[in-house]
Amino acid sequence: MKERREKFETSSGIELPNDFNPANTAIDFKNEIGDAGEFPYTRGVRRNMYRGRFWTMRQYAGFATAEESNARYKYLLANGTTGLSVAFDLPTQIGLDSDDELAAGEVGKVGVAIDSLEDMLRLFDRIPLDTISTSMTINATASTLLCLYLAVARKQNIAFDKVSGTIQNDILKEYIARGTYIYPPKPSLRLITDTFAFCAAEVPMWNTISISGYHIREAGSTAAQEIAFTLADAICYVESAVAVGLKVDDFAPRLSFFFNSHNNLLEEIAKFRAARRLWAKIMRERFGAKNPKSMMLRFHTQTAGSTLTAQQPEVNVVRTTIQALAAVLGGTQSLHTNSMDEALSLPTENAARIALRTQQVVAYESGVADTVDPFAGSYAIEELTNQLEEKAVEYIEKIDNLGGMLRAIETGYVQREIQEAAYTYQKALEEKTEIVVGVNQFQTTETETIPILRVDPKIERNQIERLQAVRAKRDRAKADNALAKLEEAARGTENLLPRILQAVEVDVTVGEISHQLRKVWGEYREALTV
């Protein structure tokens, strides 16, 4: 292997000169860099950024039963986490109850199993929902999980307007990159716009969607593709909401975003700045937004799971630190740092604590949060910001020419672009023009072992027993009536959220609600793309 590459470029194909300076770059420092807290928000959405308060420090957690996840949340809160981030198991994500035959072997494995209000009450036992912000990574069943969360708030005698948090609720990226969809795109978009409308009226502090580039990047996209495809998804959501009569400035201030943070520090910092600036322009110029909050791209960041290695897992702490720095220097509002053992299993408590401590060291010891956008004016950062924005605009224009994001997904255009980028990167790894420490270079012959978390298989049996007990003790007539009203609403045009809330409060399960909607809308089957 050569000591250094002959050609230096970013993941997005931006060639890096030996030296970024005025002599060999054409940077226009008046190109809408602006000030933090002012349009186009290149330098951040708040004037003082982290001098007022740090980003929300979240740790994505959820496994096994509601009780075990609840204990992990209390552990994280006691160690300085300032917001919760809930991982749900696969059956919950795709609208299957734990006793469904298709859920066998998956209950409680990649997240917590939530079947009913009783589970949600245990999950948030003695966690006050008026003081803790909760993010829920849930999409196809997002409206149902939000209603379960609101039902818990009602049990705690907390008014809905005091409840804050985020549901991911981003179904388009499921069709693109992740796969936990249930229904076809059109009714899925209806659930999203119904959520926008319901929360605008009833839950004003709730972020009704977290439009996710994270999974697009995990699937193998470049940084420029992550910006473009995420914002193209967002354009589709805004268009859908406007089409059903919602006013942009009534719902857009509660839109939020979710991005990945990879290892290329400079490209990642520039990526966040470019995305923020481009979204501000889109909202003002394309949708005529007047409220400054409608133009602010507020985002959560998670460090890159796809960069974590099973080989030499302790080195993942270093990767995560670089990625966390990029997110903070890029102006994130919320951050999750992955644990070093996540290439092997769900995180142990010790690994989760180290991941949280990584954020705290960046916040309290590094000094990078003491001044706004500290890399602003750097020739390298400004040039990368400009070029990433230009590349993202080119992709968005292609998608517009195809007829919009839904059509681009249906034709497989977006998926093919990501697949090609992933192939290019994999080839570079095999040819060793890209190096991953411990994987294709600097390997060791030693066998490394670290403690890993194992989910007890008895959990699935216990969860099924609890679920069946809920069904046995509930008022069956009320449950049947709630499901009938939900089906009637789904066949009509009324907002579905009040019907879903009514259903969960009489112990209708996540799977039953999803199956009732399947009866009306059917299930989506992905077209093959080559």
Backbone angles phi, psi at 211, to 5 degrees: -75, 120
Identify the residue whose tokens are 């379960």: 148
Over 50: is that where the pLDDT of 309 sits? yes
Q: Tell me the two tokens of residue 22.
A: 């005025």
- The Cα 58–Cα 359 span in angstroms is 9
State pLDDT tens for residues 376-397.
Answer: 989 899 999 999 999 999 999 9
Other Cβ atoms less than 10 A from the Cβ of 454: the count is 9
- CATH number of the domain located at residue range(s) 49-431 in this protein: 3.20.20.240
| Higher pLDDT, residue 456 or 277 | 277
Helix-strand-coil percent breakdown of the chain, rounded to 5?
50, 10, 40
What ranges do the domains of the chain cover? 49-431
Q: Is 434 exposed, middle or buried (0-12, 13-18, 19+ CB in 10 A)?
A: middle
- Give the strand order in the sheet containing 165-167: 206-207, 165-167, 134-137, 83-87, 56-61, 334-336, 299-303, 255-261, 209-212
DSSP one-letter string for 375-415: TTT-HHHHHHHHHHHHHHHHHHHHHHHHTSHHHHHHTTHHH
pLDDT grade for 83, boundaries at 50, 70 and 90: confident
Over 90: is that where the pLDDT of 281 sits? yes
State pLDDT tens for residues 318-334.
Answer: 999 999 999 999 999 99
Contact between 359 and 316 (Cβ < 8 Å): no
Backbone angles phi, psi at 171, to 5 degrees: -80, -30
Upper half-sphere CA count for residue 477 (Cβ side, 13 Å): 0
Average pLDDT for the chain: 93
Identify the residue whose tokens are 């706004």: 372
AA letter at 337: T
State pLDDT tens for residues 196-255.
Answer: 999 999 999 999 999 999 999 999 999 999 999 999 999 999 999 999 999 999 999 999
pLDDT grade for 1, boundaries at 50, 70 and 90: very low
* Cα 233 from chain centroid (whole Å): 13
Radius of gyration (C-alpha) of the chain in whole angstroms: 23
Q: Of the candidates 88, 144, 135, 157, which has an alpha carbon nearest to the alpha carbon of residue 117? A: 144
State pLDDT tens for residues 291-300.
Answer: 999 999 999 9
| Higher pLDDT, residue 168 or 31 | 168
The percentage of residues in the chain with a pLDDT greater than 70, rounded to a whole number, is 95
Average pLDDT over residues 417-432: 96
* pLDDT value for 23: 62
Coil, strand, or helix at residue 48?
A: coil
Backbone angles phi, psi at 401, to 5 degrees: -65, -25
The percentage of residues in the chain with a pLDDT greater than 90, rounded to a whole number, is 85
Over 60: is that where the pLDDT of 529 sits? no
Supply the pTM of this predicted model.
0.92
- The Cα 29–Cα 66 span in angstroms is 52
Our CA angle for 227, 232, 233, nearest 5°, is 105
pLDDT grade for 30, boundaries at 50, 70 and 90: low
Coil, strand, or helix at residue 332?
A: coil
- The Cα 160–Cα 117 span in angstroms is 17
pLDDT grade for 29, boundaries at 50, 70 and 90: low
Contact between 160 and 202 (Cβ < 8 Å): yes
- The Cα 185–Cα 172 span in angstroms is 8
| Higher pLDDT, residue 98 or 85 | 98
* pLDDT value for 4: 62
* pLDDT value for 187: 96
- The Cα 495–Cα 197 span in angstroms is 8
Q: Of the candidates 149, 44, 140, which has an alpha carbon nearest to the alpha carbon of residue 96? A: 140
* pLDDT value for 15: 87
Coil, strand, or helix at residue 437?
A: strand
* pLDDT value for 325: 98
Q: Of the candidates 364, 350, 276, which has an alpha carbon nearest to the alpha carbon of residue 313? A: 350
Over 70: is that where the pLDDT of 32 sits? no
